[in-house]
Amino acid sequence: MGIFTSESFNSLDDLFVHELMDLYDAELQLTDALPKMAERAKNLSLRQAFQSHLQQTEKHVQRLESVFEHRGLEPERETCSAMAGLIKEGGVVLDADGDADVIDAALIAAAQRVEHYEIAAYGSARCFAHHLNDEYAAELLGQTLDEEKSTDQQLTKIAESSVNPSSTTSRR
């Protein structure tokens, strides 16, 4: 999000719309990245989690489009530099050589960075919607926020139950 640029925010509504455009771009970027992450994952539970989250992410895009429509706006993207950076960082993992279990651990770490960014962004956007008395948007954003939190918890469970223990027994 380009909050620290020369963009002008004269109202909470201006900021809210900017956040929506940023989230829209972030989710669209993620729909391109998740299939690559799923393909690279060795652990079946991790691969399935990435595939499931891709389906969720497509719903997140639809929810954002619904919020734009509700507000009388065309869906528009504002380049989300944060997501671009997180995906670029995760791309290093996708291209890395090494032990498959350790690569899976790195994929989870990269994915959780994305989830934490999304949790923060959706939490802020939902709060803005509440303050703007836009309960429709707040509800949709809250649904997505809950799903992002759930995905983060699922990734933690996969890491702790199978991926991290497997990676610690990998060759050194």
Contacts of 96 (CB under 8 A, 6+ apart): 103, 106
Cα gap 83→102, rounded to integer Å: 23
Classify residue 77 as left (phi > 0), alpha (psi -120 to 50) or beta: beta
pTM of structure: 0.91
What is the distance, to the nearest Å, from the Cα of residue 144 to the centroid of all Cα atoms in its chain? 10
pLDDT tens-place values along the chain, 172 residues long: 444 455 788 999 999 999 999 999 999 999 999 999 999 999 999 999 999 999 999 999 999 999 999 999 999 999 999 999 999 999 999 999 999 999 999 999 999 999 999 999 999 999 999 999 999 999 999 999 999 999 999 999 999 999 988 887 755 4
Topology, domain 12-168: Ferritin (1.20.1260)
Nearest alpha carbon to residue 109 among 77, 136, 86, 127: 86
Query: How many angstroms separate the CA atoms of 77 and 52, rounded?
Result: 24
